[in-house]
Amino acid sequence: MDAAAKAIAPGAIVNVRGEDGRGFGTGYFNPKSLIAVRLLAEDCDAAIGQDFFAERLARALKLRDSLYGKPFYRLVHAEGDHLPGLVVDRFGDTLTVQIGTAGMEKQRGAILAALDQLLSPATVILRGDAPSRALEGLDSHVETVKGKGHRIAVEENGARYIADLTEGQKTGWYYDQRDNRAFIAQFAKGKSVLDAYSYTGGFGILAATAGARETVCLDSSAPALALAEESARANGVKIKPVKADVFEELERLVGASEKFDIVLADPPPFVKSKRDLEPGAKAYRKLARLAAQVTAPDGILMLASCSHNIPPDRFAAECAQGLLRAGRKARLIRQAGAGPDHPVHPLLPESAYLKVLVYALD
Interaction site with ligand SAH (CB under 6 A): 174, 177, 197-199, 202-203, 219-221, 224, 245-246, 266-268
CA distance 200 to 175: 12
Type of residue at 224? A
CA distance 222 to 56: 38
In this complex, which beta carbon is closest to ligand SAH, that of residue 245 or of residue 350? 245
Which helix (DSSP H) or strand (DSSP E) does residue 246 occupy? Answer: helix 246-255
Q: Kindly state the smallest distance separating residue 163's Cβ from ligand SAH, in Å.
A: 9
Q: Kindly state the smallest distance separating residue 226's Cβ from ligand SAH, in Å.
A: 12
Largest separation between any pair of C-alpha atoms in the chain: 68
Q: Kindly state the smallest distance separating residue 347's Cβ from ligand SAH, in Å.
A: 28
Q: Kindly state the smallest distance separating residue 234's Cβ from ligand SAH, in Å.
A: 16
Q: Kindly state the smallest distance separating residue 70's Cβ from ligand SAH, in Å.
A: 18
In this complex, which beta carbon is closest to ligand SAH, that of residue 203 or of residue 260? 203
Catalytic residue numbers read 306
* End-to-end C-alpha distance for the chain, whole angstroms: 56
Helices (H) and strands (E) in the chain, counts: 10, 17
In this complex, which beta carbon is closest to ligand SAH, that of residue 82 or of residue 285? 285
229: nearest Cα among 217, 221, 219: 217
In this complex, which beta carbon is closest to ligand SAH, that of residue 58 or of residue 244? 244
In this complex, which beta carbon is closest to ligand SAH, that of residue 52 or of residue 197? 197
CA distance 164 to 160: 13
Per the CB < 8 A criterion, the answer to whether 201 and 271 are in contact is no
CA distance 63 to 121: 19
CA distance 115 to 125: 12
* Residue number closest to ligand SAH, CB atom: 202
CA distance 205 to 195: 9
